[in-house]
A and B are shown apart, each in its own frame.
Chain A
Amino acid sequence: MNWFEIKNLQSVSLNEIPRLPIDDLRNQLIEKIKCGMRLVQLFAEKESDGNTLYVIVADDRNSRLGVASSKIPVHLSYRSFSTELPCASLFERELFEQFGIRPDGHPWLKPVRKGIAGVDPAQTPFQFFSMNGEEIHEVGVGPVHAGIIEPGHFRFSCHGEKVYYLEIEHGFQHRGVENLFIKKNHHSTAQVMLSESLAGDTVIGHCGSFVRAIEALGNVSVSRKAKTIRTIALELERIAVHLGDLSALSGDVAYLTGNAVFGALRTTVINTTMSICGNRFGRGLLTVGGVHYDISSPLQETIGSAINHLEDDVLLAGEVLFSSASVLERFEKTGIVEKETAKEIGMVGPAARASGIAIDVRSDHPFGAYESFPVHTLTLESGDVFARAYIRFVEIQQSIKIIRDQLNNLSDGELNNTATGLQPNRFVVSLTEGWRGEIAHILLTDHDGHLKRIKIKDPSFNNWLALALAVRDEEISDFPLCNKSFNLSYCGVDL
């Protein structure tokens, strides 16, 4: 039986999704991934007589998504996908944690969020991978870190300064958001607000992904104007975080000029977002059916001149940063993720593009205003800290150009259209290219047209393993630099 072919944001009936026996599903999935498709999501939904497993793969070159499902009776285990597909590993750990579905032969089966977080260390049945040897020692960091950042636990196995292995433990931020969405079914505004707080550094990315999914399920049309404003906000978010990252990367190699200059530039960008919607992170801007705030023509000019000014500053600051020998010395050949590895573990976003993988949801599975103009996917080959820093520098310039074009494109039109109820028994996949990479929101409705399941994937879910691999054989003192070059979300994974 063939998998059901859909596009990004296409709402389909749940009955149309084929149900395969689990072994067929496994074989077909392996074949598809080997043919170059990408695993987007592997999740389950609880039903009265067991669990239904859904698999979504992306055919990026043809802008198609493939969906299939399989019924897994309670207490039945299945042959793990991860033995053939490393990219499925974390998804299977999540299935194990949320539904008790046991993948036989999984190489490292432990929960994603409840391994050690909140548990008395003496009580947890889950171990860290440990190495033996006379001079091997372990370094544990977190959950509370030195700076003002989210909590997570890192366990390094080292020989002297050299890192042999890093295991990353999540779960400290687990707020139960997927259940909370369902709990708030009778308050659609509260659901939108919740989507803004999935990851506070990706407000427009996550909220945009959620409202587009709701619009698809409710057949709500969005005006060209609202789409344009959403695009401007999303690109401003990308620029702001990338600038913040360049600032922090400069700080991590003690290059204080870069630290100060990029930090100040970031402030101008988030203040531009605030001039549109009253919040530095874009909160309150998006709503189901459009946006709440307009970009008037005086504001259009202000933003236009702000980004022109920004462009000059960024070019100059980037020129200075990337020609500094002391910076390059630390950035280059540090924390390399090879292209093959990146592909195997299913990396996404700028980190994947820095390793030479040409994927970008904006061009592969366009949404909103991106349907009407091409976004050129930018890649670099070296996969090191330098590449992950430099790709940010070029993406900032790309985003500035997009914003400039979109500002000139602001047409007349409704800011937002009224939302109606959702269609019953539907299924939709909403992909968005946030600044970190592919955000996936998958929504299922029940026969009354209420959400019965929402599955959220922050790009961090795909990329944390890349960080663990990047620091192998590096000195432990390079960990902060490697970590910053990915800048992954803790709460995005913990949900």
Chain B
Amino acid sequence: MLDLLKLRKRHGFQAIADIRHAIVMDTHRGFPVIDEAINNNDLQKAIDICPTKAITGNQASIDLGKCIFCAECERASNGAIRFSSDHKLGTSKKDHLVVTSGMDYTEYSTSAIDAQKEIHKLFGRSLKLRQVSAGGCNGCELELSACGNVNFDMGRFGIDFVASPRHADGIVITGPITKNMAPALQDVYKSISDPKIVIAVGACAISGGVFADSEELNREFLDTVKVDLFIPGCPPHPLTMINAILDFIGKKK
């Protein structure tokens, strides 16, 4: 009994008090900054080494929907591409995931998520989500679980993951969507009553990620629905996920 009390005392209060303004450790690889003056040689090296073809040359840009934040391009381009620790990367539109040379974090993040009044009215105080892992490696799944642990405690905002699609307001997809999971994913989506939202979490769900070239995928589902929120990363940090969802449902910053 004494040990239990001692343990409780040591454990203390673990929750991050201010999720909206919490910062991530500076080693974390978040928003990439591309030097405006990047030369063609460095850019080409970065393009060549990128494992997911996230970097393109026309205007020197990185598609965060494909990027797995491995930092190979940072080393190959001699630092002309540099990953900052800025973590709020979620967007409402897929086009917005493309970071061009010279773009800074403030420019990216201020207009990334448009909080709609309708969404705020419906889900602002309670959002129940059903998660479907469709070929996910368990990385995104672990970080989604972490959103609910004592440190991040997403439940305090009324956002929870529920066991049945019948109880859910939306679906969170992780993984590149394998052929073998495509029917089940479709069934889950159909089982959620309207109005419902779709959130794509991680490079795999958004673009196929490292599995994009596989013949075992069937991503047709994404052509039939509107994805409301894209949360990039491999996997995204829990603070990236929670802040994106809070922005989306129009919680005050």
Interface residues, chain A, with chain B CB atoms under 8 Å away: 113-114, 117-118, 120, 143-144, 146-151, 171-177, 179-180, 183-184, 187, 189-190, 192-194, 196-201, 203, 244, 257, 260-261, 263-264, 267, 271, 274-281, 283-284, 292, 313, 316-317, 319-320, 323, 489-491, 494
Contacts and interface: CB of A to CB of B under 8 A. Distances in A.
Contacts of A174: 135, 178-180, 216
B137 A491 contact: yes
A380 to B, nearest CB: 23
A280 B146 CA distance: 11
Contacts of B181: 117-118, 143, 151, 172-173
B136 interface: yes
Contact of A189 (B72, B134, B175): B72
B239 to A, nearest CB: 11
Contact of B136 (A264, A323, A491): A491
B51 A316 contact: no
A281 B184 CA distance: 28
B151 A267 contact: yes
Contact of A264 (B27, B150, B179, B214): B150
A290 to B, nearest CB: 13
B141 A150 contact: yes
Interface in B203-253: 204, 209-211, 213-217, 234-235, 237
Given A173-B175, A275-B25, A144 B141 contact: no
Contact of A175 (B150, B163, B164, B214): B214
Nearest to B83: A278
Nearest to B139: A200
B17 interface: no
5 smallest beta-carbon distances between A and B, as pairs: A200-B139, A118-B180, A200-B137, A146-B163, A190-B51
B110 to A, nearest CB: 25
Nearest to A489: B138
Given A274-B25, A278-B27, A316 B210 contact: no
B193 interface: no
B180 A171 contact: yes
B108 interface: no
Given A175-B214, A257-B8, A260-B150, A197 B180 contact: no
A51 to B, nearest CB: 21
19 contacts: A118-B178, A118-B182, A149-B138, A150-B133, A150-B141, A151-B132, A175-B135, A180-B213, A189-B49, A189-B70, A189-B72, A190-B52, A192-B51, A197-B209, A197-B210, A200-B140, A264-B149, A281-B139, A284-B69
Given A197-B210, A316-B3, A173 B141 contact: no
A150 B174 CA distance: 10
A190 B235 contact: no
Interface string B25-41: 10111000000000000
A321 B68 CA distance: 38
A220 to B, nearest CB: 18
B27 A175 contact: no
A275 B27 CA distance: 6
B211 A283 contact: no
Contacts of A143: 181, 184
Nearest to A149: B141
A113 B180 contact: yes
Given A118-B183, A148-B161, A316 B6 contact: yes
A263 B51 CA distance: 33
B137 A199 contact: yes
A261 B213 CA distance: 41
A54 B50 CA distance: 34
Nearest to A203: B139
Interface of B: 3-4, 6-8, 10-11, 14, 25, 27-29, 49, 51-52, 68-72, 75, 83, 131-146, 149-151, 161, 163-164, 175-176, 178-184, 187-188, 204, 209-211, 213-217, 234-235, 237
Contacts of A203: 139
B70 A283 contact: yes
B7 A175 contact: no
B252 to A, nearest CB: 26
Nearest to A312: B10
A143 B183 CA distance: 10
A71 B216 CA distance: 29
Contacts of A117: 180-181
Q: Looking at chain A's contact residues, is the secondary structure mostly helix, strand, loop, or mixed?
A: loop
A472 B142 CA distance: 29
B69 to A, nearest CB: 7
Contact of A198 (B137, B144, B145, B235): B137
A146 to B, nearest CB: 4
Given A117-B180, A279-B69, A190 B210 contact: yes
B138 A320 contact: no
B133 A193 contact: no
B176 A175 contact: yes
Contacts of B175: 173
A169 to B, nearest CB: 10
A192 B135 CA distance: 19
Given A144-B132, A201-B138, A281-B235, A173 B180 contact: yes
A143 B186 CA distance: 12
Given A144-B187, A149-B141, A279-B69, 18 more contacts: A117-B181, A148-B144, A149-B138, A174-B178, A180-B214, A197-B137, A197-B234, A199-B137, A200-B139, A257-B11, A260-B11, A260-B150, A264-B149, A264-B151, A267-B146, A277-B27, A280-B143, A283-B139
B68 A200 contact: no
A148 B49 contact: no
Nearest to A176: B216
Contacts of B4: 257, 320
- Which residue, B14, B71, B136, B180, has most C-beta atoms of chain A within 10 A? B180
Contacts of B182: 118
Nearest to A323: B3
B210 A193 contact: yes
A319 B184 CA distance: 43
Contacts of A180: 211, 213-214
A264 B131 contact: no
A283 B71 CA distance: 10
Nearest to A273: B27
Contacts of A177: 211, 214
- Which residue, A151, A171, A198, has most C-beta atoms of chain B within 10 A? A151
Nearest to B143: A280
Nearest to A316: B7
A199 B234 CA distance: 13
A268 B131 CA distance: 25
A494 B137 CA distance: 10
Contact of B217 (A175, A276, A317): A175
